Each structure stands twice: as structure tokens, then as C-alpha cells.
């Protein structure tokens, strides 16, 4: 239905153009000098007092008209833009300069690299310096500093900072093997009690589990029996020794008594050693030997924590049968952890050179504590590069006294190599990108100027300045996005509207 109506309108307009050529004055007419008048005039029949079509219509000399040779679309007033000199500058009806073809108010090419003095001398189409023009200053990346704007941004002065060469790394935290212990059962038996759970914090000597073992009970009873025999054998040997000294006893009796005593003494040492292997303490063995009550006589063996740490694994349950040297629990001291970090091949030479000189330091961060830096200690490097990733493994150590870090956490950080040197560093937050170029706002007199900079991101929080800004320059640290919105308004279609 709409398509049909549109066709009818087009046909009607075409007939009006053909049949009413005498009404051309409705749309415009040609002036004596050959130029076109875009003015709108009422038909003669509508104003009989006018003898001439151009009566009261002043067409002054073209040179006096700000819009000489400046064509307007139908219905637009000749004087609509007379206040601004845009000679030879065509606009569609209601269109602003910022969107008009041929009149781009966007950031001009390479202005971020031009000397400041040259920027201040550049003129605009309004006949003044661009930096002083409210409509055009953003074409050269300039933003005027107002009292309000000064309160909304934060600036700082660029100084040289003493730092070492930085190498970025990432990796995964893991246990220190030297601080990891597996508690095993030294005897055959059954788990009577289990006193810890996974995750529990334990101290060295703390009870972990109690086992019951027939083997242990039998060995303890054997030692207690032997202890009684050993006492009798010792007394007999001492008596024979006394008789021999008085020439009463025979040498054979003394020799037999000594042999029996020595044999029992050796067996006593064997049984004591066997109980020690079974995990019985020296104090408990002495109790058995002296005939005192001891848990070992009932086959009960206590397993204790060998180090301070946390229980990471439990391998059995109460009532479970357990074999000799079967693991019962695992304990790790996580006050110190290791991290297997990986660095690229380009950093290997420098890393190895400084490793020999013991001149490597660094830190790491984890996602759970982004604002905390944990110092790391260089331990060594792997013997080969990973075949899959072409990265070199670096072994680092990190102190963890508060146990904030946990194994398997993903970490990333920086290693600092070599001697300390001075660098020009910008906070990474001060640098922003546009069209793949890096920029920073620098304060100059009463303006913030957008300057193109060349930087290297060798540091996670800073950008190493290579060119574009010099020591002593005052730059915007925070709030540069506010300045960007003003500079880039040309790209977003803003302009000097007429």
C-alpha cells in the first residue's frame, strides 16, 4: 500500500514540473551575474503590490557577501550562516560543519609528534590560532584547563626511576618437596583412632592416629620376658666372677655364665631396636623393659606429626586394616612454597648470566590478593626448554608465614635482573591508545596537550618511555578519559554547527 502511494506522489511531482514551468520563482532564479539565488519568494499573484520579483531583495556585491558562491539547498535562508566565514563551503540543510564532507574536525595526523611551538602557531579556518579556538583546538589534541577540570584530573612530574631490568613470568605454586612428609605405618595392624582431618593445622609431635598391632604386642612382651632372664643371667655371672676371684669357682663355670649373659644382652638390644623400628619411643621401651605398664604391651602405637604443617591427605579410616609402610596421612609445611615459573627464550641469556652472579630478585602476585606483592627467591633453572611451549622453567621460592598462598594457585610477577639503572617510567594507567598509537596528556601553560609516546611494557605497572615525553614534563596520571572525550568529539560527529 505504501509503495503504491509513493509512486503516485512521484508521478504527481513530475507533472507539476512539466505543466508549471512559469512557477520557477518558487524554487529560485538566476541573478544578473549568473549566480543562483536560493531565496524563497512568494508568487506574484500573492503580492500585487510588488512590481518586480526582486523588489526589496538586496543582492549586494559578491565580495561583500560572506557566502559568495555558496549554494544553499531549497528552503534555506541566504543569511543563515553569514556570521561565520565559510566561503566555498557547502552544507546540506541543517548539517553541521563537523559532519560535512571536506571539513573534518577530527584529530589531525601526527599532531602528537609535532613540537609544541609549532602546535601553538597552527591556524584554523576561523582565522585564529587553533589552540585559542574553542571549536578547533581539539584538532591538535589540546584541551583547555579550567578550574573544574583541574580538580577532576591528577597530574605528576616525570622523573627518572631506579630499577633493574624486568622479566615477566607466570606459573603455578607448589609444595616444597623438602617440607612435605608422608606418615606411614611401621607395623601390620588396624586403625583404632584417626585424630585429624584434611586441612587441619598440626604441630610437630601432635597425635595423628592410633594403631593396634599383634606384632607390636608380641615383640613388647618378648622384650619384657627377656629383661627378666637378663637380670638373672647378670646376677649369675657376677656370682661366678666373685667365686673365681676367691679361687673357689671353676673357670668353665665363669665362662658359661658370661656367655649366657652376653647372649641375652645381644637379644635385648635386638628387641629394643625392633621396637624402635616399629615406632615405639625410647621412653615406652624402657617402661616395657622395667616391667611398667606401656601401650606397646597392648599393641597400641601412636603416630605423630613429624613437622609443623597442614594435613593434606588422609589415606585410611577408623577400623581399616593397614599394612607395613602403608601411608596413613600426608603433612606439608606451607610456610614456604615453590613456584615453577616460565620465561621466554629472549630472556634466557640475561637470566642465566645474572643467575651466576646471584643478582636476581623479584615478586609475584595471585588473583586472590592482587594488592599484595610476595617476594621471591631465585633457586635455579631447568636443564632444558619445554618442547611444547619453548619456555624455560625457573624455580623460585616464596616465604608464606601467614599461609595466604596455597599450592596450585596461579601466579604471575616480575624478576629483576642485573644492576640498578635509571629509567623514565610512566604509570601504565597514564598511557592510552588510539588507532594503535600510544598517547599521554602533557600539561603546557593553560592546556593539556595530547602527545604521542613510544613505550615498552617491560614492567607490569609501568611503561618504559622511549620517546615523546621528557624528564620534567607534567603529565596526567588519572582522569585522561575526560580529556579524551573532548579531543575525540570530532570523531564522534561533533563540530561547529551553523
Per-residue confidence band for 98, with pLDDT thresholds at 50, 70 and 90: very low
Per-residue confidence band for 492, with pLDDT thresholds at 50, 70 and 90: low
Ranking 17-31, 318-332, 471-485 by mean pLDDT, the lowest is 17-31
- Please, what CATH class does the domain formed by 116-162+424-490 belong to? mainly beta
Ranking 41-55, 295-309, 416-430, 474-488 by mean pLDDT, the lowest is 41-55
Per-residue confidence band for 343, with pLDDT thresholds at 50, 70 and 90: confident
Amino acid 44: pLDDT: 43
Segment 3-14 mean pLDDT? 49
CB 439 within 8 A of CB 429: no
Q: Domain residues of the chain, as ranges?
A: 2-94, 116-162+424-490, 167-176+334-413, 214-298
User: Could you give phi then psi for residue 292, rounded to 5 degrees?
Assistant: -90, 165
pLDDT higher than threshold 60 for residue 396: yes
Amino acid 459: pLDDT: 65
Domain 116-162+424-490 and domain 167-176+334-413, same fold? Reply is no
Torsion sign across C-alpha atoms 400, 404, 410, 413: negative
Q: Which of 38, 152, 162 is CA-nearest to residue 425?
A: 162
CATH 2.40.30.170 fits 167-176+334-413, yes or no: yes
CB 301 within 8 A of CB 213: yes
DSSP 394-439: EEEEEE-TT----TT-EEEEEEEEEEEEEEEEEEGGG-EEETTEEE
Residue whose entry in the numeric block shows the C-alpha cell 608380641: 218
Amino acid 461: pLDDT: 76
What is the residue-averaged pLDDT of the chain? 80
Segment 272-285 mean pLDDT? 94
pLDDT higher than threshold 70 for residue 73: no
The pLDDT > 70 percentage for the chain reads: 76
pLDDT higher than threshold 50 for residue 296: yes
DSSP at 54: T
Amino acid 491: pLDDT: 53
Amino acid 62: pLDDT: 44
pLDDT tens-digit readout, 177-202? 999 999 999 999 999 999 999 999 99
Segment (H or E) for 256: helix 251-277
pTM of the model: 0.52
Segment (H or E) for 262: helix 251-277
Amino acid at each position: 500500500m505504501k509503495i503504491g502511494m509513493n509512486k503516485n506522489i512521484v508521478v504527481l511531482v513530475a507533472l507539476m514540473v512539466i505543466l508549471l514551468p512559469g512557477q520557477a520563482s518558487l524554487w529560485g532564479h538566476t541573478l544578473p551575474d549568473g549566480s543562483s539565488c536560493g531565496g524563497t519568494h512568494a508568487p506574484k499573484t500573492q503580492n500585487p503590490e510588488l512590481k518586480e520579483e526582486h523588489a526589496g531583495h538586496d543582492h549586494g556585491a559578491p565580495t561583500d557577501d560572506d557566502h559568495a558562491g555558496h549554494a544553499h539547498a531549497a528552503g534555506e535562508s541566504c543569511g543563515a550562516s553569514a556570521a561565520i566565514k565559510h566561503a566555498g563551503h557547502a552544507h546540506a540543510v541543517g548539517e553541521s560543519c563537523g559532519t560535512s564532507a571536506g571539513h573534518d574536525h577530527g584529530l589531525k595526523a601526527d599532531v602528537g609528534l609535532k613540537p609544541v611551538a609549532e602546535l601553538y602557531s597552527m591556524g584554523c579556518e576561523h582565522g585564529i590560532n587553533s589552540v585559542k579556538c574553542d571549536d578547533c583546538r581539539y584538532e591538535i589534541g589540546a584541551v583547555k584547563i579550567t578550574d573544574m577540570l583541574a580538580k577532576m584530573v591528577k597530574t605528576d612530574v616525570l622523573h627518572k626511576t631506579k630499577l633493574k631490568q624486568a622479566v615477566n613470568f607466570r606459573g603455578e605454586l607448589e609444595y616444597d618437596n623438602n617440607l612435605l612428609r608422608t606418615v606411614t605405618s611401621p607395623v601390620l595392624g588396624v586403625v583404632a583412632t584417626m585424630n585429624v582431618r584434611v586441612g587441619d593445622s598440626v604441630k610437630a609431635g601432635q597425635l595423628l592416629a592410633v594403631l593396634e598391632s599383634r606384632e607390636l604386642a608380641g615383640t613388647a612382651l618378648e622384650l619384657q620376658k627377656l629383661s627378666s632372664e637378663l637380670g638373672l643371667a647378670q646376677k649369675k655371672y657376677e656370682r661366678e666372677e666373685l667365686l673365681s676371684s676367691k679361687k673357689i669357682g671353676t673357670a668353665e663355670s665363669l665362662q658359661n655364665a658370661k656367655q649366657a649373659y652376653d647372649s641375652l644382652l645381644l637379644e635385648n638390644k635386638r628387641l629394643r631396636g625392633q621396637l624402635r623400628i616399629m615406632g615405639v619411643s625410647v621412653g615406652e621401651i624402657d617402661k616395657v623393659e622395667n616391667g611398667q605398664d606401656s601401650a606397646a604391651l597392648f599393641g597400641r602405637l601412636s603416630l605423630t606429626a613429624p613437622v609443623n604443617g597442614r594435613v593434606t591427605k588422609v589415606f585410611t579410616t577408623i577400623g581399616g586394616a593397614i599394612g607395613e609402610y602403608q601411608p596413613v596421612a600426608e603433612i606439608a609445611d606451607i610456610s614456604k612454597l615453590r613456584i615453577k615459573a616460565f620465561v621466554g627464550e629472549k630472556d634466557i641469556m640475561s637470566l642465566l648470566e645474572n643467575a651466576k652472579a646471584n643478582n636476581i630478585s623479584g615478586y609475584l602476585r595471585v588473583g586472590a590478593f592482587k594488592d599484595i606483592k610476595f617476594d621471591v627467591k631465585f633457586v635455579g633453572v631447568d636443564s632444558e626448554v619445554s618442547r611444547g611451549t619453548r619456555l624455560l622453567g625457573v624455580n623460585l621460592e616464596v616465604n608464606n608465614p601467614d599461609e595466604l598462598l596455597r599450592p596450585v594457585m596461579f601466579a604471575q610477577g616480575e624478576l629483576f635482573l642485573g644492576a640498578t639503572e635509571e629509567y623514565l617510567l610512566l604509570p601504565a594507567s597514564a598511557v592510552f591508545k588510539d588507532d594503535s598509537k600510544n598517547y599521554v596528556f602533557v600539561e603546557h601553560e593553560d592546556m593539556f596537550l595530547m602527545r604521542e609516546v613510544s613505550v615498552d611494557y617491560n614492567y607490569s605497572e609501568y611503561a618504559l618511555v622511549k620517546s615523546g615525553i621528557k624528564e620534567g614534563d607534567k603529565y596526567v596520571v588519572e582522569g585522561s578519559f575526560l580529556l579524551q572525550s573532548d579531543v575525540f568529539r570530532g570523531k564522534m560527529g561533533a563540530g561547529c554547527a551553523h
